[in-house]
Amino acid sequence: MLPTELLQEGEHLMTVCNACRYCEGYCAVWQTMESRLVFVESDLNYLANLCHNCGECFYSCQYSPPHEFNINPPKTLAKIRLYTYGLYAWPGPLAKAFCKNGLLVSLLAAAVLIAFLLAASLALGSRLWEPVRGGDFYQIIPHSVMALTFSVVGSFSALALLIGFLRFWRDSGESYSTLANPVALFRAAKDVLSLKNLDNDGAGCSYPREKSSEALRWFHHATFYGFLSCLVATTLGAIYYYVFGWHGPPGFLSLPVIFGTVGGIGLVIGPIGLFVLLRRRNREIVDENQSGMDLAFIVLLLLISISGLLLLLLRQSAAMGTLLVVHLGFVMTLFLTMPYGKFVHGIYRSGALLKWALERSRQSENKAKA
């Protein structure tokens, strides 16, 4: 359960906001709020993950600090959202450890994994500090070893993310059967891929802000689509190897390299932009307890993208072997920490948007019947 003080803070926030409704057209949070008269813990958890954390409601609110009502939606919902990361995570103790020391845990995990890969490569007879003919990565670490390692790490991460999502869905009050609603799935996917609730750039906001929600939206896009592009590159590389039997390194104009390069650039621009916006944010609306988690995610993405781009540029050099081991260590660390770090906000927010789509469909059906 939510801590009593945080639960009371959330109930107070929603009670005042539901009576005022000045922000009703701002985003999905306020439109969802209107369909409720009371707010139990599951409702607060759902609304917190539905929030896109743009901060516009705070600057438009007549009851925000220093008003005695002390209404601060971005900060209150952020605190509840952080709590849900641990509530739904599996196994739970890992989430608590990561939440408290996100960056330190990530760096230590990366160091251990890099050391393991270095030892394994040397044990297999790899000459890490010598140029490899053709820049073939698999002469350093055999493809079978890479595939097995990432299968284990990826399967664990996918299982943990799935369990976390199903826990969120159950807590929201929805049955698992509603996950198969095609109309809601299409609407939610559209909202997720377009970041619809970050596209108004402060409509109705009469106060100056320290950041633009439009900038936040585009940096999120660069990060998300950069990650997706890298995932496509990896998938294409596997298809080249297993389906077509092309065992050499892909050419610079091949699809895996093109997608990987575009994705790598996106994962440099996006995280750097998000870091700048994070540093510039009004600290009054920021939950400082999430700073370590945010920084860990940004640093990991940057380390992955920079090491990956360097690996591409220097794959014919003597540095290739070491860069490959370092890059793979960072990638494995990201996968291991996904269920407990900032990545899960995308999972639960997608689930919240799907529930919102279902609620809108039901409201439309009720109006049609009436």
Question: What is the tens place of the pLDDT at every residue in 299-330?
Answer: 999 999 999 999 999 888 888 888 999 999 99
Q: Residue 55 pLDDT more than 70?
A: yes
Residue 109, pLDDT score:
92
pLDDT in tens, 149-173: 888 999 999 999 999 999 999 999 9
Of 2-11, 95-104, 217-226, the least confident: 95-104
Q: How far, in Å, CA of 240 to CA of 347, rounded?
A: 30
Task: Judge whether 363 and 356 are in contact, CB under 8 Å.
Answer: no
Task: Judge whether 32 and 359 are in contact, CB under 8 Å.
Answer: yes
**Reported pTM:** 0.90
Q: How far, in Å, CA of 129 to CA of 364, rounded?
A: 64
Q: Residue 24 pLDDT more than 90?
A: no
Residue 102, pLDDT score:
86
Q: Residue 260 pLDDT more than 70?
A: yes
pLDDT in tens, 317-364: 888 888 999 999 999 999 999 999 899 999 999 999 999 999 999 988
Q: What confidence category does residue 213 fall into, taking pLDDT thresholds of 50, 70 and 90? A: low
Residue 370, pLDDT score:
67
Place of tokens 């493809």: 143
Residue 315, pLDDT score:
85
Q: How far, in Å, CA of 368 to CA of 278, rounded?
A: 44
Residue 134, pLDDT score:
63
Q: Residue 15 pLDDT more than 80?
A: yes
Q: How many CB atoms lie within 10 A of CB 366?
A: 9
Q: What confidence category does residue 93 fall into, taking pLDDT thresholds of 50, 70 and 90? A: confident
- Using DSSP's 3-state secondary structure scheme, residue 156 falls into helix
Please write down the long-range contacts of 249-258, taking CB distance under 8 Å and 24 or more positions apart.
Answer: 249/134, 249/135, 249/136, 249/137, 249/315, 252/312, 257/233, 257/312, 258/233
Q: Which residue has the higher pLDDT, 249 or 341?
A: 341
Of 153-167, 174-188, 234-248, 296-310, the least confident: 234-248
